[in-house]
Amino acid sequence: MTDLWTDLPSFFLLAQSAAPTIDAASATTPIGPAPAPGWFTFLTSFGPIIFILLLFYFFIISAKRKDDRKRKALLDSIKKGDRVQTVGGMIGPVTEVKDDRIQIKIDENANVKVWFTRVAVIGKVEET
């Protein structure tokens, strides 16, 4: 039978060798480049996501806010006598205006008037 210690490869025995000594001059010199600052790593990691969110805000949300302001101005400007169109497609002159609703005259002959909430108005219709 062969001796187990003589059959081991040499790299198993390297772990038992003495540790290399480090002199004082080589201990103070940095090995490799210095690590990047924390803000720089944060910016390179999350910078593209932040950029996409800013683009999303300016193109989607700000455009929606602009449309909302225009719609609010339209709904606030409705007065008696204006011809309006509702989301259901009904067109008629406004006969009465309240804070949250308006009354539209649908049929001239039968004098049919219907109440709608202000948000049901799509826009004003120009007389042609």
Answering whether pTM is above 0.85, one says no
Distance CA 45, CA 72 (A): 41
Residue-range domain boundaries for the chain: 36-76, 83-124
Q: Maximum distance among all alpha carbons in the chain?
A: 120
pLDDT in tens, the chain (128 residues): 555 555 555 555 555 555 566 665 555 666 777 777 777 788 788 889 999 999 988 888 889 999 999 999 999 999 999 999 999 999 999 999 999 999 999 998 998 999 999 999 999 998 76
User: What phi, psi does 97 have (nearest 5°)?
Assistant: -125, 130
